[in-house]
Amino acid sequence: MGKRGNGQGSARKRGRTWTAIWTLGTVVEEGRLRQIRQTKGGFRTKTDALAYAANPPQTAAQTSTPSLMDYWTIWSTTSLTKMSKSKQTAYKIAKRKVERIMLLPVDKLSINLLQETVDAKAPTYYPAKDIKTLLTHLYKRAVAEGWVSTNLAEFIVLPSLEEEELQPFTELELRKFWDAYGAGDSFVGFILLMIYTGMMPGELFGLKKDMIDWDAYEIRGCGLKTKKRKETPIVFPQLIAPVLLDLCQQSNSRIGNVLCMSRDRFYGEFHAALARCGVRDLKPYSCRHTTATALALGNIAPSVIQEVMRHTKFSTTQRYIHPDMTAAHAAVETLIPTQKDGS
């Protein structure tokens, strides 16, 4: 590997060609400096690669014009801190995906460059939407200060949204979960907890032992997103109390978390557990849909289901109820009047 002094870049041989490597800039993350590097391959000689790395076109012209990264530095310590933790995480991920263009002067960016970057880094709808929204927040500051006249992020075209209707777990699958948990698969306890409480995955991540009122069978303080979910306790049945206690006792978190693993590991463990139990590979949110569906099939009053799900409107609750054809047949059978003697 060839290097140049004074941070002028380096070159690495890959196969028969050389790749230029240079530093775009430095950002501060969680109190630490981190260099952001860019690469370009295909050079026939090391000399050519080093020459390009020392003076790449996109950084050849220095300017005092601020970059979107400059605006991120301010926005991330002000407006971003007032958002929910899930939003903060989403925008930090979005920033990491496009931080290379964010280091360029804001007046050097184009619609095409923004679109190409989003297409390359976020081919699906929701990650692309997070990037577009983040860039819009930053562009608004640049427009307000007069560095650019238009928010170019508004012109980013998002990938099509292919909504997948979430399905609940069936009664047979629920029995398989209980069998696996009874056989010692402790992770399945988290799945059962979400099913029997309607708890969202994000709420599970935030669940702490001191939020649990064992006498009232309620969990308070880990609701997310809406005012209704934040203020309404999560209720759990006596049936699930021993499972929740077991999960608490297994936790070794120093800050009291019931779930002691990262989001990525949790999702990996979730799908692995479904495979071990021999059930369909559904998403964690299907647990919450199972809650609403089971309550509806149990003839629980709609207002009570809405309260358990902690929805502001019952129209939202209805989207979580998925009666299958077996339930439909059973329902219509109840409409047949009992025949009387002599009729």
Tens of pLDDT, residue by residue over 158-200, are 988 765 667 899 989 999 999 999 999 999 999 999 999 999 9
Give residue-wise pLDDT tens across range 111-165: 999 999 999 998 888 889 999 999 999 999 999 989 999 999 999 999 887 656 6
- Asked, for residue 31, whether it belongs to a domain, the answer is yes
Q: Which amino acid is at 226?
A: T
Looking at the fold, whether 226 and 77 belong to one and the same domain comes out as: no
Look at residues 45, 60, 75 and tell me which one is the last residue of a structural domain: 60
- Asked, for residue 342, whether it belongs to a domain, the answer is no
The reported pTM is 0.52
Nearest to 181 by CA among 11, 173, 153, 23: 173
Radius of gyration of the chain from its Cα atoms, rounded to whole angstroms:
27
Q: What is the DSSP letter of 333?
A: H
Looking at the fold, whether 149 and 133 belong to one and the same domain comes out as: yes
Look at residues 129, 146, 163 and tell me which one is the last residue of a structural domain: 163
pLDDT for 67 beyond 80: yes
Q: Find out whether 121 and 113 touch, Cβ atoms under 8 Å.
A: no
Label residue 42 left, alpha or beta by phi (over 0 means left) and psi (-120 to 50 means alpha).
Answer: left
Report residue 288 as tokens: 């919450």
pLDDT for 342 beyond 80: no
Higher pLDDT, 321 or 72: 72
Give residues with Cβ within 8 angstroms of 125, minimum separation 6. 158, 159, 160, 161, 162
pLDDT (0 to 100) of residue 160: 83
State whether residue 227 is helix, strand or coil. Answer: helix
Q: Find out whether 277 and 177 touch, Cβ atoms under 8 Å.
A: yes
State whether residue 198 is helix, strand or coil. Answer: coil
Look at residues 36, 60, 84 and tell me which one is the last residue of a structural domain: 60
Q: What is the DSSP letter of 232?
A: S
Report residue 43 as tokens: 């050079």
State whether residue 112 is helix, strand or coil. Answer: helix
